[in-house]
Structure 1
Amino acid sequence: MHRAAARGLLLGAEHVLAASRQRVPIAEGTLERSGAVSVDEQSMTAAVSYDTPYARRVHEDMTARHSPGRSAKYLESVLPEVSGEVQALITAQVRRALGG
């Protein structure tokens, strides 16, 4: 069951990453491509991150102008919107492991 929950956590984090990639500001696409997911099965935590020297600055700069549909807070803003879907992904994996 632990392994199934970890799989659900990975799927949920990948869902968050996909949603945030729809909002990440694009100049050359480097920031968008740097997005990654990691899961720590011991602590049952997942992380979604963007790995460029300017990722944090772009995420936090609410004064910058971006293309339509793209915005600062590109990661933070999607979390409340997809939390139900993330929970459903985790629940589905656990149910599958329980045979239901």
Structure 2
Amino acid sequence: MAQRVRVKWNGGAVSASMRAAELRGLRLAGEHVLTESRKEVPIEEGTLERSGTVSVDPGSRRAAVSYNTPYAVVQHERMDFHHDEGRSAKYLERPMTTNRGTVRDIIAQQIRQGLS
């Protein structure tokens, strides 16, 4: 006895859903790093801290966390500057490194949710 099975392939919809989930994961992971880095960013008047932002480039599928002041790079790189307790140079590099696993997990979670 022969049976027939009909399958409808929704590859385009699945790809679109995965792409959206991936970009959402990148945004959320970037926001996590930004939140963590704001806990360490040198603070005098708060201008540097407030300038922090996350951007996602859908074309390259990359996220960036940045601070936009004329002195952001100098504050990040100069290890000889003295900062208030809990604030330091490498305020972006350190949270990215220490939260690497969390960043990966945030992105993976969004992708898993996109599959369901």
TM-score by length of 1: 0.97
Matched, 1:89 2:84: no
User: How big is the shift at 1:80?
Assistant: 1.3
Q: Structure 2: which 5+ runs fail to align?
A: 1-17
Letter in 2 for 1:49: S
4+ residue segments displaced more than 4 Å: none
Matched, 1:26 2:26: no
User: How big is the shift at 1:52?
Assistant: 0.4
The CA distance in 1 between the partners of 2:36 and 2:51, in whole Å, is: 14
User: Bigger radius of gyration, 1 or 2?
Assistant: 2
The CA distance in 1 between the partners of 2:111 and 2:93, in whole Å, is: 26
Q: Percent identity?
A: 56
The CA distance in 1 between the partners of 2:28 and 2:115, in whole Å, is: 18
Once the two structures are superposed, the pairs formed by residues 32-71 of structure 1 within 5 Å of their partners are 32-71=49-88
Deviation sequence 1:18-68 (CA, Å, 0-9, x none): 010000000000000000000011111000000001101111110010011
TM-score by length of 2: 0.84
Tell which has more relative contact order, 1 or 2 (C-alpha 8 A, sep 6+).
1
The CA distance in 1 between the partners of 2:79 and 2:55, in whole Å, is: 27
Residue 89 of structure 2 corresponds to 72
The CA distance in 1 between the partners of 2:37 and 2:100, in whole Å, is: 13
Letter in 1 for 2:52: G
RMSD between aligned residues: 0.6
